[in-house]
Amino acid sequence: MTIKCVLFDFSGTLFRVESTGSWLRAVLTESEVTLSEAELTRKAADLEAVGALAGGAAPARPLPTDLAEVWRRRDESAASHRAAYTGASRLVPLPDPALHEALYDRHMRPAAWHPYPDAAEVLAALRGRGVAVGVVSNIGWDLRPVFREHGLDPYVGAYVLSYEHGIQKPDARLFATACEALGAAPEDTLMVGDDRRADGGAAALGCAVHFVDHLPAAARPDGLRPVLDLVG
């Protein structure tokens, strides 16, 4: 099989979101709210435990019933995404209720995201070989500014974002949309992601699938390079 197109997931694959502590600290600073270091550390841990940072850890325990259904479908629209993550955040008391919305807004900024160390190298090499590149993401906001800010947008031929289509991975229709946008047949396409259930949905369409580990960027300096060997 000759790979002519590679689709990538966003969070945990090409980019990693900042730590929960960094996220909370940035918002507190901008909002001019002061917490002791010990309290900031505790609040960050509590926010992480409920999965309040999109792109960060999943909830460590079941969410309340009224939030669980919103959470299950959170990537189908911008409104659902905001409701799910601010709803999770509100499970953790903060000094000012407005901080919950501010935290959500922060996570959409390019400054909150960092590409994996080998992302630019791998994307550039693929495009240099004439391989089409797309991004297929379960997400509730426009990630294109993140790619532009970090210089990766020139390598991406198509973005297929769940909230723009009202469906989430592993629904094969998202992968089919990406293949069509890039003019590639599924059997000539490789999907690269960190979520075996969501990203593995591409296999139902006939795509090859390769998984990477969702790790902090410093702990995964070359996790994307095997993709180049798979493409050949």
Handedness of CA 167, 60, 104, 67 (dihedral sign): positive
Answer whether the bond into residue 170 is a cis peptide, omega within 30°.
yes
Token pair 């993401």 is found at: 137
Q: The pTM is what?
A: 0.96
Buried b (16+ CB within 10 A) or exposed e, 97-108: eebbebbbebbb
Residue of 208, 199, 206, 201 lying closest to 227 (CA atoms) = 208
**Contact between 218 and 34 (Cβ < 8 Å):** no
State whether CATH 3.40.50.1000 applies to domain 5-16+112-231: yes
> pLDDT tens string for the chain (232 positions)?
689 999 999 999 999 999 999 999 999 999 999 999 999 999 999 999 999 999 999 999 999 999 999 999 999 999 999 999 999 999 999 999 999 999 999 999 999 999 999 999 999 999 999 999 999 999 999 999 999 999 999 999 999 999 999 999 999 999 999 999 999 999 999 999 999 999 999 999 999 999 999 999 999 999 999 999 999 7
| Distance between CA atoms of residues 90 and 107, nearest Å | 16
Domain boundaries, the chain: 5-16+112-231, 18-111
**At 121, which amino acid appears?**
E
3-state secondary structure the chain: CCCCEEEECCECCCEEECCHHHHHHHHHHHHCCCCCHHHHHHHHHHHHHCCCCCCCCCCCCCCCHHHHHHHHCHHHCHHHHHHHHHHHHCCCCCCCCHHHHHHHHHHCCHHHEEECCCHHHHHHHHHHCCCEEEEEECCCCCCHHHHHHCCCHHHCCEEEEHHHHCCCCCCHHHHHHHHHHHCCCHHHEEEEECCCCCHHHHHHHCCEEEECCCCCHHHCCCCCCHHHHHHC
